[in-house]
Amino acid sequence: MRKLETKTIVVASHNAGKIKEIQDLIGPFGFTAKSAAELNFVEPDETGTTFEENATIKALASAEASGLPALSDDSGLVIDALGGDPGVYTANWAETPDGTRDFAMAMDKVERALEKAGASEPRQRTSRFVSVLCLAWPDGHTELFRGEVDGTVVWPPRGSQGFGYDPVFQPEGYETTFGEMSAEQKHGWKPGDAQALSHRARAFKIFVETCLEA
């Protein structure tokens, strides 16, 4: 495993919600970070069929464009009753004809698919959020870190915090959805904490233990 020696990196994302969560997580470590969106980098085509492949595509694109290490995230909602969908196509389910993303529409699409599958009881609506972080260097070296959190898809959506599908995902052991949690509750992991809740925070914890800690 390669250690990250610099405190200047690029957050390889154009997703405002992801950028904020990653910046919240890396903030306590003293990083100077700009996003691919801020730097006006072209979004690469995510042609992979796994979270790992797509995270790698994004991180390498930003590392090559900037000449700096780049940290990307590819994440999604995996629903058992839907055969793992939307999975790596989680963002695609929110795409509209005009090229924007409507996650209220996407959550409704998920609910209709679950109804069609006959998944009406909580035990039939098991799911997990998956996040894969990729740290890439300009020389092409990459490191991958995967985090998952199990839960249940609920309906109707609850809460206006977070982003994406957060209002319909209730993590295991909690009575509230990600959409009802504060940023601190959802992904406020920091060094010394034994546990991290969100999928992204769990992946980040592994990143810290692998690439930052001595």
Q: How far is CA 122 from the centre of its chain?
A: 24
- Cα–Cα distance, 80 to 85 (Å, whole number): 8
Active site residue 74: yes
Give residue 69's identity as a one-letter amino acid code. Answer: P
Residues 6+ away with beta carbon under 8 Å from 144: 52, 55, 56, 132, 133, 134
- Per the residue annotation, which of 24, 73, 74, 166 is the catalytic one? 74
The residues that are catalytic are 74
